[in-house]
Amino acid sequence: MSAPSQSGEEKLIRLLHSMDSATLQNRLMRIQDRSLALSMLYLQKTDRELLFSKLGKSKQTRVREELGFQEHLRITYAQYRLALDIVLSELGRASPGGGMKSYLKPISRRRSEEQ
């Protein structure tokens, strides 16, 4: 007998608890505010707050604002599930393009010679 499959919401909450904070925050920052807000529509208040606690302040503000807009729209369950699946996919994905990317911007020779 196989175990019952988890709902998308349960998968999201499990990911929020299982990932280290830095990785989780980096992946959440790559997700569009609208998709993230839409994926939170049917979450319990405590689960929403858990997700918000993993976001930076400016991203939190933008997502809360977007969530407020979406609560007044007629969003179908299919649209909600699509956004949730996008968020789950992004959270489960390694860094974009694979491998480690540098966040340092090289200094141009001309600029470095001026200093």
pLDDT at 99: 42
- CB 38 within 8 Å of CB 63: no
Q: Which residue has the higher pLDDT, 3 or 42?
A: 42
In a domain, 37, yes or no: yes
Q: Where are the alpha helices (DSSP H) in the chain?
A: 8-18, 21-30, 33-39, 45-53, 57-70, 77-92, 109-114
Q: Per-residue pLDDT averaged across 29-36, rounded? A: 92
In a domain, 27, yes or no: yes
What is the band of 28 on the pLDDT scale with cuts at 50, 70, 90?
A: very high
In a domain, 74, yes or no: yes
Average pLDDT, the chain: 81
CATH number of the domain that 78 lies in?
1.10.220.30
- Measured in whole angstroms, the distance separating CA 30 from the mean position of its chain's CA atoms is 7
Beta-carbon contacts of residue 32 (< 8 Å; ≥ 6 apart): none
Torsion of CA 78, 79, 83, 85, to 10 degrees: 10
Task: For the chain, give the percent of residues with pLDDT over 70.
Answer: 76
Number of domains in the chain: 1
For residue 75, the enclosing domain spans 8-95
Beta-carbon contacts of residue 82 (< 8 Å; ≥ 6 apart): none
